[in-house]
Amino acid sequence: MPRIDLRSDTVTHPTPAMRRAMAEAEVGDDVFGDDPTVNALEERAAALLGKEAGLFVASGTMGNLVAQMAHLARGQETIASASSHMVTDEAAGHAVVVGTSMRTLPDRPDGTLDLALVAESFRDPADPHEPISGLVAIENTHAHSMGQPLGVAYTQAVADVAHAHGVPLHVDGARFFNAVVAEGVTPAALAGPADSVTFCLSKGLACPVGSVLVGSRAYIWRARRARKLLGGGMRQVGVLAAPGLLALSDGPDGMIARLAEDHANAHRLAEGLADLSGIESPGGAAQPAPGRLDPARTRTNFVIFRVARDRAAFLADLAARGVLMVPYAHGTIRAVTHYGITAGDVDATLAAVRAALAETAGAGPVPARAGA
């Protein structure tokens, strides 16, 4: 039986070259700033994104947390999209650790926020009742809208609104390089308008561990202090930074350019799913109205859909055929392509979906949608 794991791009295993780089990494005590591999990774990330400095952290969640701690004081407020990871998937770290509130705005199907609404969301700093607006945060790619990549012009427009109010812009770029590849721009161009950007090494870039935060030198110094406070100061951590350095390289072991394959495979999956009756577009927040799944919306490595069957039974039937997906927001299902998933795996997935749909329906094989 195949095992095709589409639950997330976090399930990727390190490449053979990464394993070798880990074994051979030069290391030192990183809390003393002595780990040459970590230093090289932080410098490479900063240079790539056009910022002064970088900071290697244990996870994307820690990256966003230290990013907020370095931008915000207690009692301040972040303006962010309602379905963003920072709001819904980080155990309220903004409240528990940073001591701030979130002003959440509705996400639109293209992954953007209404800029007029962003502008209206700043609090009155002269009113002692109100929190103090201190940060605007966006997510790129934007997960809940099916991984829409946000472009340079939009990022600049959000930054302009934030900066006009004297507030910085943070980009939660867990899948920042998927956006870079989908938009066909340089990482520095896409990061340019932002004051800070985090990206995950442990997702599409296939590293086992870690994220990097980039920004100005003074800002990253504050973030380094915040990382220490959280217990995230690690020692001979070059063994974990080594795969990241490789992933960000231009050579044959680099993992950025190949993300285009994941996008092509996700698109192939979306096209195949769109032709099946019993599969529908997701609906819900940050999605267009329910109807036929629109493969044109799969611009990166996410496919989100709704199944006209019992979702749990469908996922179990799929798993019994060796294909794993996850339940997602608003009753939907998510499949994510990544390193290790081939076009052949996508075709095998579609066959398994057809069979699972038929089984869950308790009827014969599901016919192709007429005229599709």
Ligand X SMILES: *Cc1c(COP(=O)(O)O)cnc(C)c1O
Which parts of this chain interact with ligand X (CB under 6 A)?
A: 59-61, 64, 85, 139, 143, 172, 174, 200, 202, 211
* Ramachandran class of 97: left when φ > 0, alpha when ψ lies in -120 to 50, beta otherwise: alpha
Q: Considering beta carbons, is residue 142 or 321 the nearer one to ligand X?
A: 142
Q: Considering beta carbons, is residue 94 or 321 the nearer one to ligand X?
A: 94
Closest contact distance (angstroms) between CB of 326 and ligand X is: 13
Closest contact distance (angstroms) between CB of 251 and ligand X is: 25
Q: Considering beta carbons, is residue 60 or 244 the nearer one to ligand X?
A: 60
The two three-digit tokens of residue 132, written as one number: 């103090």
Closest contact distance (angstroms) between CB of 308 and ligand X is: 27
Q: What is the layout of strands, in order, in the sheet containing 326-328?
A: 279-280, 302-307, 332-336, 326-328
Cis peptide leading into residue 141 (ω within 30°) = yes
DSSP 144: G
Q: Considering beta carbons, is residue 204 or 278 the nearer one to ligand X?
A: 204
CB 59 within 8 A of CB 244: no
Residue with tokens 């700033």: 33
The two three-digit tokens of residue 186, written as one number: 């340089």
Q: Considering beta carbons, is residue 122 or 199 the nearer one to ligand X?
A: 199
Closest contact distance (angstroms) between CB of 198 and ligand X is: 7
| Other residues' Cβ atoms within 10 Å of the Cβ of residue 69 | 22
Q: Considering beta carbons, is residue 85 or 321 the nearer one to ligand X?
A: 85
Residue nearest to ligand X (CB): 60
Closest contact distance (angstroms) between CB of 63 and ligand X is: 7
Residue with tokens 């996922």: 315
Closest contact distance (angstroms) between CB of 302 and ligand X is: 10
CB 336 within 8 A of CB 9: yes
